[in-house]
Structure 1
Amino acid sequence: MTSGPAQPRPHVLLVAAPFQSHVNPLLRLGRRLAAKGLLVTFTTALRAGIRLSPGDGDGDGDGGGAGAEAGRGRLRVEPLRGGGIWAPDDPRFRVAGDMARHVEAAGPAALEELVRGQADAGRPVTCVVANAFVPWALRVAGELGLPRGMLWIQSCALLSVYYHHVHALAAFPEAGAPGSVTLPGLPELDADDLQPLLIYASGQDLWRQMLVADLGRAGDTVPRVFVNTFDELEHATIQGLREHLPVIPVGPLLEPDDADGECESSPAADDDDGCAAWLDARPPRSVVFVAFGSLVNNDSGEVAEIAAGLASTGRPFLWVVHDDTRDLLSPDALAAACLDRDRGKVVPWCAQGRVLAHPAVGCFVTHCGWNSTAEALAAGVPVVASPRWSDQRINSRFLVDVHRVGVRAPAPLARDALRERVEEVMGGPEAAAMARRAAGWKEAARAAVRGGGSSDHGVQAFVDQIRHVGARH
């Protein structure tokens, strides 16, 4: 008896907003799905400045099935093309609002073209998973009759705040007024913690409109909401939100070797501006690592204060200063801080997860973006928290007041405050206790993503569902 034609492998299409902080977690989720045997295609409006790891597959837009093996599956990259999508080096991509409006307008046609191209190549898409802030991708998937999921790349705490506000499930303070709000599984949040979240943005604000579109019907039209967290870290918050929304923790979405606390040489570490070798020469837990993410722009006054503060600690430091900020750092201030690069090293970029995982790092001065927060916890590194906007104040509340793995510093940073907070974390009376608690979160994060761990369970359940869906078609 002749068997029927082989069924195509279940195929998940991932759609990211074109920001590095959105690309990284979704790609990492893609690698985990591929490692469990799925075919995964990642897409975004690829623009200059977006970094993809050397191991990520590239479909080259030719439908030829090129990709990177990942466990038993395959991960491919197919940039969005057509529909009038700007070229990667188009200068209009540099303005976040213009970029988002353009991708929202041009993305649907490009995505439809990509989905049809995959079907024509014998790789029909089984399911679409998109970042938050690309609601058009989920709309297109629905119009094409495809199952949908959303990846929330920030904390479950922030997702709960936004969801409760969008659906008017709690009384929030008025904009600019004192007050607080208490939500299930969260500490009481006062007005300062909530500012400047999108709940207080104008109804005409593009990002608020996209947030409302994402969360207004989530749970009904989007039955899977993946969250870049793990159950042990936000258990009470996850349980409280699950009364309203089908949240699935799948984090921390870090590089596998970052999550395992390794910092070995690899292709991804080759272009590290000598960071690994420099760290190798420093004693364990001696280095102050300073990084404020890709969107925080320190002004000239703060840059000078950070340089002076780092110099005054007398400790070795690794400081990420983006190229567009480097001109604000005077040669004299740099020389005084670094002592001819022996004590300090300043780089324009580094693989942050790998740096945090290095045993020489003893303290992380951070803006508390969620990627940085998750990486610090997964690496077991105590923090000096200097939050600026968005979710950063809430993240710092958890790091400092709930998990007690760091101290809070003012923003903008001043030299004396920086020196005092670094000393508190690295040599103060509570330093050893902070380090022990941080080490405990490192172990919990590693356990969550191992086979059978809480986050691995969520990923595996999704894979099983997608295989079932694929078998019906």
Structure 2
Amino acid sequence: MSSPHVLVIPYPVQGHVIPLMSLSQKLVKHGIKVTFVNTDACHKRVVSAISDQDGLVGPNINLVSIPDGLEHEDDRNKLGKLCSVMLETMPTKLEKLIEDISTVDVDNRITCVLADGCMGWTLEVAQKLGIKGALLWPASVTVFAVISNIPKMIDEGILDNNGYSKGRQTFQLSPTMPEIDTVVIPWSSMGDTTSQNLVFEYFIRIIQTQNLAEWTICNTVYEFEPEALALCTRVLPVGPLMETCQDRTSRGQFWEDDYSCLDWLDQQPTKSVIYVAFGSLAVLNQIQFQELALGLELTGQPFLWVVRADDDSGTNTKYPYPDEFQGTRGKIIGWAPQQKILSHPAIACFISHCGWNSTLEGLSNGVPFLCWPYFADQFINKTYICDEWKVGLGFDFNDERIITRTEIKKKVDQLLSNEETRARSLKLKEIARNNMVEGGQSYENLNNFINWLMQQRVCT
């Protein structure tokens, strides 16, 4: 009897690849083989970001790829078009990949397809081939609940058949959950109307495949979202899916981490550094970029600022830093080993886009937030950070929709002087860490899932 062999497939953006890779690295520690399927474009970026080609992403994880259907020159940040084209192209490519794996070595054939919840259609391919399937929802279970309840929201008149609100309003999925404004539902900030429609249609498609999963696990913690988990009874929390290895094994990053920042942090006072990072997709315009630079300087605090590398120019930004910006108190890097940064004692707070990975990493390290959401689920995450957990503050825009340098300084001062926020952050850190160790709810749920995977062996 051979080892179980799991095919893992994330949605093709950085924030989805990371938790699926973290989970894969946990699976291989239990003797499970993993074939990790990126799109060709993502695969190229992951491999190019790995400095140690011998180490790659860990033992027993085989990196492979299939086309997403877009041309080389297409903009893959246009998620509506990406969603539409993937459905036209990837199912047949995935089916062929799985069949080819079995043809090469029948004892090595795939025993389970573990799909990103945003790639639920892949379970239709698995079902066709007689393979069992499971889902990992990589965002908050609250967002899972919102998407899963689209048909109900249409029936109740909150949304029309195209996913648009019938007038701006707030709604609750259950009496104990926070109110959600219809302007921040995930597909409403996905670009123009055409993109929003395509993403909404894609969500409808993945809703239809949820029941094909024998397991649905989620990268969350029970205590963080108990009401949403009570609503989604089939979903089991297994988070936070965090980096556990102390070496520099890749977590599926699209850019190479700059570890020089850790030495720089070692030289800074405890709880003094403002960490600024907006993930892989957020974009600031020139005015906002320059206001942020001047705002960081105005705080008088040391800062570590991730300015994502521009793929075309090779420079850190397409905008010039303002003339008044000295930057002597700070360090600017192109991409960061974020979990290691957030666990560093020098970090005082986190100016974040509130992506779910960043949210969990901040919570798991007891770091207070200054929230700057950009799109999709990030606005709902901000609601939890600021209003439910009360471990952060949001920025206010001026009349020109700019967060000014004075607003940045004001909120930094307000957050860093609030000991109650720091205390709540440390409490949530304890909760997250307790879930990750033996006896914790997430640990036990994940262990049960792994035990189930171990039973899906190929009999020879």
Answer yes or no: is the 8 Å Cα contact 1:369–1:391 preserved in 2. yes
Is the counterpart of residue 302 in structure 1 residue 293 in structure 2? Answer: no
Letter of the 1:163 counterpart: S
- Distance (Å, rounded) in 2 between the aligned partners of 1:138 and 1:455: 24
- C-alpha change, 1:387 and 1:180, in structure 2 (3 Å) is same
- Indicate the larger mover: 129-138 or 14-23: 129-138
- Distance (Å, rounded) in 2 between the aligned partners of 1:105 and 1:162: 22
Is the counterpart of residue 256 in structure 1 residue 244 in structure 2? Answer: yes
Answer yes or no: is the 8 Å Cα contact 2:2–2:459 preserved in 1. no
Letter of the 1:103 counterpart: M
Is the counterpart of residue 332 in structure 1 residue 315 in structure 2? Answer: no
Answer yes or no: is the 8 Å Cα contact 2:187–2:200 preserved in 1. no
5+ unaligned residues in a row in structure 1: which ranges? 1-6, 60-65, 258-263
Query: TM-score, normalised on structure 2?
Result: 0.85
- Distance (Å, rounded) in 2 between the aligned partners of 1:181 and 1:102: 32
Secondary structure of residue in 2 paired with 1:285:
coil
What are the within-5 Å matches in structure 2 for residues 37-48 of structure 1? 37-47=31-41
Answer yes or no: is the 8 Å Cα contact 1:161–1:183 preserved in 2. yes
- Distance (Å, rounded) in 2 between the aligned partners of 1:163 and 1:201: 22
1:217 is displaced (CA, Å) by 4.0
- C-alpha change, 1:201 and 1:465, in structure 2 (3 Å) is farther
Map of 2:313 onto structure 1:
none
Letter of the 1:237 counterpart: A
1:439 is displaced (CA, Å) by 1.2
What are the within-5 Å matches in structure 2 for residues 217-232 of structure 1? 217-218=209-210, 220-232=211-223
Q: Which residue of 305, 308, 318 maps to 2:304?
A: 318
Answer yes or no: is the 8 Å Cα contact 1:386–1:413 preserved in 2. no
- Distance (Å, rounded) in 2 between the aligned partners of 1:452 and 1:118: 37
- Indicate the larger mover: 136-145 or 171-180: 171-180
Q: Which residue of 85, 104, 113 maps to 2:87?
A: 104
- C-alpha change, 1:179 and 1:109, in structure 2 (3 Å) is closer
Higher relative contact order (CA 8 A, sep 6+): 2
Q: Which residue of 293, 301, 312 maps to 2:279?
A: 293
1:113 is displaced (CA, Å) by 2.3
- Indicate the larger mover: 174-183 or 10-19: 174-183
- Distance (Å, rounded) in 1 between the aligned partners of 2:74 and 2:101: 29
Letter of the 2:40 counterpart: L
Letter of the 1:125 counterpart: I
1:197 is displaced (CA, Å) by 3.6
Is the counterpart of residue 274 in structure 1 residue 263 in structure 2? Answer: no
Letter of the 2:73 counterpart: P
- C-alpha change, 1:361 and 1:274, in structure 2 (3 Å) is same
- Distance (Å, rounded) in 1 between the aligned partners of 2:168 and 2:276: 33
User: Number of residue pairs matched?
Assistant: 435
Q: Which residue of 208, 222, 225 maps to 1:234?
A: 225
Q: Which residue of 348, 359, 370 maps to 1:384?
A: 370
1:396 is displaced (CA, Å) by 0.8
5+ unaligned residues in a row in structure 2: which ranges? 311-315
Answer yes or no: is the 8 Å Cα contact 2:278–2:352 preserved in 1. yes
Map of 1:416 onto structure 2:
406
Answer yes or no: is the 8 Å Cα contact 1:56–1:68 preserved in 2. no
Letter of the 1:30 counterpart: S
1:362 is displaced (CA, Å) by 0.7
What whole-Å deviation, never above 9, does each CA across 1:312-352 have from its counterpart, x for those lacking one? 100000111123372313262442xx12xxx1111121122
1:356 is displaced (CA, Å) by 1.2
Secondary structure of residue in 2 paired with 1:178:
coil
Answer yes or no: is the 8 Å Cα contact 2:279–2:355 preserved in 1. yes
Answer yes or no: is the 8 Å Cα contact 1:166–1:216 preserved in 2. no
Answer yes or no: is the 8 Å Cα contact 1:230–1:252 preserved in 2. yes
- Distance (Å, rounded) in 1 between the aligned partners of 2:126 and 2:346: 46
Secondary structure of residue in 1 paired with 2:45:
coil
Is the counterpart of residue 467 in structure 1 residue 451 in structure 2? Answer: no
- C-alpha change, 1:222 and 1:268, in structure 2 (3 Å) is closer
What do you get for the CA RMSD once the two structures are aligned?
3.0
What whole-Å deviation, never above 9, does each CA across 1:11-63 have from its counterpart, x for those lacking one? 1110122211111111111112222232221111132673368599999xxxx
Q: Which residue of 174, 178, 181 maps to 2:168?
A: 178
What are the within-5 Å matches in structure 2 for residues 127-138 of structure 1? 127-138=112-123
- Indicate the larger mover: 136-145 or 277-286: 136-145
- C-alpha change, 1:458 and 1:268, in structure 2 (3 Å) is same
Q: Which residue of 437, 440, 455 maps to 2:427?
A: 440
- Distance (Å, rounded) in 1 between the aligned partners of 2:123 and 2:444: 24
Q: Which residue of 88, 107, 111 maps to 1:126?
A: 111
- C-alpha change, 1:468 and 1:330, in structure 2 (3 Å) is closer
1:204 is displaced (CA, Å) by 7.9
Q: Which residue of 358, 361, 379 maps to 1:393?
A: 379
Is the counterpart of residue 367 in structure 1 residue 353 in structure 2? Answer: yes
- C-alpha change, 1:426 and 1:356, in structure 2 (3 Å) is same
- C-alpha change, 1:346 and 1:374, in structure 2 (3 Å) is same
- C-alpha change, 1:408 and 1:198, in structure 2 (3 Å) is closer
Q: Which residue of 11, 14, 21 maps to 1:17?
A: 11
1:354 is displaced (CA, Å) by 1.7
Letter of the 1:256 counterpart: T
Aligned identity (percent) is 29
Query: TM-score, normalised on structure 1?
Result: 0.83
What are the within-5 Å matches in structure 2 for residues 51-90 of structure 1? 51=46, 54=50, 68-69=58-59, 74-80=60-66, 90=72
Letter of the 1:124 counterpart: R
Answer yes or no: is the 8 Å Cα contact 1:227–1:248 preserved in 2. yes
Answer yes or no: is the 8 Å Cα contact 1:230–1:445 preserved in 2. yes
Is the counterpart of residue 454 in structure 1 residue 436 in structure 2? Answer: no
- Indicate the larger mover: 26-35 or 188-197: 188-197
1:465 is displaced (CA, Å) by 2.0
